[in-house]
Structure 1
């Protein structure tokens, strides 16, 4: 099974720039070993189970909770049985159809 998750999580009570808080979350995802891609508007990662995906989101919150009074999170899930490696494959599929590399 493949669980693709696109999410963003950050404190809303820490001013205009929240990159130090986002960096905590990205470091944790990187250390978890799951494939991920950081984008300007969020992060996409892939796990094999919904439980693993939710655990990562819960860990992300636990990194902010001690010193943040208000945290915003939005998450989207694409769950597909019998597939894996979709973090890369979905982009390749579109690129093949248009005959051009769209991701760099």
Structure 2
């Protein structure tokens, strides 16, 4: 069984977005997570996305040095926001309402 590569999935996701924001999305591809720490992965992503995207589009891959932990950092920031606290679901709420509580409180 063959799956699409990360570059193909990124390209496909951007192409499914509104045409007015695609240019900005291609110019702001952020790599995050431990598997993005492989040597040369940002350069390869740049090359692969450039080959798939329209030639007039500027591609920019952002690979911050702390990207191994950026998902955790983002979650930590989100959890510390006062507006996010209203979306927290206690175990009791979940036990009482089931999975539907997520849609009622978060969307």
Same fold (TM over 0.5): no
Q: Quick one: higher RCO (CA 8 Å, sep 6+), 1 or 2?
A: 1
**Structure 1 or 2: larger strand share?**
1
TM-score, normalization by structure 2: 0.41
For the pair shown, which has the larger CA radius of gyration, 1 or 2?
2
Greater share of helix: 2
